[in-house]
Amino acid sequence: MATTLEATFETRREAEMAVERLVQEHGVERSDIFVTAEGQANTAGVDVAGADIEAGAPSPPNRGDSALNGAIVVSVDVNDEARATDVRAAFAEFGGQSLVD
């Protein structure tokens, strides 16, 4: 069963956390994972997160130039149902909204 699973994430941080979970804990090869913008424009997601959020002192000034132009899409090529289950779980853990798989 070769298939591609996809999910959208509201922030770049959530997408990156899902990718790291897949690579570090589930042994998915990075070459099997693809991260893209949902649309044509460059995007850091829909909501500010990570380095775009104001931190406690001392911290650089708050940024207002985040490219919030749509969701982040993470897709993973899988070859078996066990791996597909791991991918779906990682997507869900970090708020990914699954696309048709």
Q: Which two tokens stand for residue 39?
A: 């649309």
Q: Residue-wise pLDDT tens for the chain (101 aa)?
A: 688 999 999 888 899 999 999 999 999 999 999 998 887 766 655 455 555 555 555 655 555 555 556 788 999 999 989 999 999 999 999 999 887 65
Total-model pTM:
0.73
Torsion of CA 99, 91, 18, 63, to 10 degrees: 70
User: Domains in the chain and their CATH numbers?
Assistant: 3-98 (3.30.70)
Residues 6+ apart with CB under 8 A from 57: none
Residue 68 DSSP one-character state? -
Name the one residue in this structure whose structure tokens are 């649309």: 39
Sign of the Cα pseudo-torsion (62, 65, 67, 70, in order): positive
Q: How far apart are CA 36 and CA 25, in angstroms?
A: 22
